[in-house]
Copies of this chain bind each other. A is one copy, B any other.
């Protein structure tokens, strides 16, 4: 206590954090996007999807993406007014052309189609090509699962990952998401960790990272943070991660006729459209059993898995979705922290576009 009192002023300065409510952040984000010509409904949709990720503490897929989206539009690499179209529809299969519009608009339309088709056939697959970054896949998986369906969502991504045994990038972090009517939600990249975990280690002055995270530029596994930064992220568990990334690439891009592997751009790649492909698969649970029964079975399964005694060093066992739901409850209550340079980046973008800065409140935490 004495120490706290003594260093109180300096400490307060160090741990003051910009906080903002989800509602205010959504409204502000939509205004920012409208300033670069996003139509009002598209701006609102994109803002909601990003803030949903912030609420779940998946900040890598939250509003920190806004400056990238804005720059893509300014460079002409994404068209915020583009409207996608159905290329073909046959049975439970639908092919969608995103027309280089916002990924969230493409995903929203595709989820709607997937749910409608699954109502008719029991299941459906919708693939989209020439799309853009759609935020976190979990947002779209959940849009399908709230309809009483299993939602599986995947997308390919900028080629920054070398295949196993290789040292040149050919695949993206290609995430796999599955959402169900019940307390379990998976959304994971097919690399061991997201690239920004390695950057964070560097920023925090950590000299080494855990084994399995990264390879050097010769494709040799490394635990040296600086070497990893100049190298490549590691496919999840080695060759199996490369296999899963290819699975995603095939279901999204090969099947949709979209850009594959080295043809794909990215939000940080200037002068070419991203041309990402996405896949939305819906399975109507009630074709197998009543949704309430399925939900009870998910609860039983999650409970049984969590009933395992924790490993040494841990207090409890969690299943996919648990950490994010806890964060969401906390951030709905206390607000969303905009740390790690995000607030400054948003302010700079806002200033440049003549938009007021995000209405954050500084909180001492």
Contacts and interface: CB of A to CB of B under 8 A. Distances in A.
Interface string A286-302: 01110000100110110
Contact of A90 (B167, B239, B287): B287
Q: Size band of the A side of the interface?
A: 35 or more
Contacts of A309: 166-168
A218 B311 contact: yes
A120 B91 contact: yes
A261 B91 contact: no
Interface of A: 88, 90-93, 95, 120-125, 127, 150, 162-171, 176, 178, 180, 184, 186, 188, 192, 211-212, 215, 218-220, 236-244, 246-247, 249-251, 253-257, 260-262, 283-285, 287-289, 294, 297-298, 300-301, 304-314, 316-320
A220 B127 CA distance: 41
Among A168, A215, A288, find the residue whose CB has the most chain B CB atoms closer than 10 A: A288
B219 A311 contact: yes
A301 B165 contact: no
Given A261-B304, A284-B93, A310 B166 contact: yes
A158 to B, nearest CB: 15
A282 to B, nearest CB: 11
20 contacts: A90-B122, A92-B92, A92-B122, A92-B123, A93-B122, A123-B124, A123-B125, A150-B255, A163-B319, A164-B317, A166-B305, A167-B311, A170-B305, A188-B243, A192-B237, A212-B237, A237-B241, A242-B320, A255-B289, A260-B300
A222 to B, nearest CB: 11
A178 B123 contact: no
Contact of A246 (B170, B246, B305): B305
Contacts of A305: 163, 166, 170-171, 242, 246, 261
A291 to B, nearest CB: 11
B236 A150 contact: no
A288 B127 contact: yes
Given A123-B123, A255-B294, 8 more contacts: A163-B317, A166-B308, A171-B305, A184-B246, A219-B314, A242-B320, A254-B298, A255-B289
Contacts of A121: 91-92, 121-123
Contacts of A312: 167, 218-220
